[in-house]
Amino acid sequence: MSFDHAVGGTRDGARPRRLIVGITGSTGPILGIRLLEALGPLGVETHLVLSEWAERTIRIETSYTVAEVLDLASTHYDNRNQAAPISSGSFPVEGMIIIPCSMNTLAAVAHGIADNLIARAADVTLKERRRLLIVPRETPLSTIHLRNMLVLSDMGVSIVPPMPAFYNYPETVDDVVRHIVARVLDQFGIDNDLTVRWGTTRRLHSDGPRPRSRPTTVAP
């Protein structure tokens, strides 16, 4: 869908909620895909940018085509297009989510190297004092990675690593993915029912059967 025909829900008669979504080339593009699938029905206008390696990783790790992922967004841009609306602070958006975020992109954002549209849009988000959320995907983390995250955290960026929760008894990888997406949406105050919530839909000492862990065999 072109920008001219982008649509979304409104709040109090105002313009639609509008978010930039960047998907980079680290493992885990399904996180960004599930986020887009969640935001669409919620009436949030999404402006999507895929890096070159995000496109490749989508093909490697998921059953989606790149075209199918692009169609999930209200509109999308080429990562080389520095003239896109989202590269300007005069284009009003609520914030930006980079999910997943490679360490290369994280470093570029932390040090103001805006040499592609994802990094430029993040740079604009920071200078306009809008909410920026990053879902970093790497393990283990080096001292360089941690320092770059601290630089961004000091600027008010939300760092949301894709940490699984186990109090909700996830049975599939998608259960884990949905929980992470739910926590991302929570950061923007977007109501959702993607996951079991501690203290509401799941309580400590609640009754009911608990799945038994499978024994693990460790080689001698």
The yes-or-no verdict on residue 40 having pLDDT over 60 is yes
Q: Provide the token pair at 77.
A: 């841009």
Ranges of beta strands (E only) in 121-177 are: 131-136, 158-159
Residue of 218 and 155 predicted with greater confidence: 155
In angstroms, the CA 218 to CA 54 distance is: 35
Q: Give the CA diameter of the chain.
A: 65
Place 4 in a pLDDT band, splitting at 50, 70 and 90: very low
117 touches 49 (CB < 8 A): yes
What's the rounded mean pLDDT across residues 42-57?
97
The yes-or-no verdict on residue 95 having pLDDT over 70 is yes
Place 208 in a pLDDT band, splitting at 50, 70 and 90: low
- Coil, strand or helix at 59: helix
Instruction: Tell me what pLDDT residue 5 has.
Output: 32
The yes-or-no verdict on residue 3 having pLDDT over 50 is no
Highest mean pLDDT among 67-71, 188-192, 215-219: 67-71
Which has the closest alpha carbon to 39: 78, 6, 88? 6
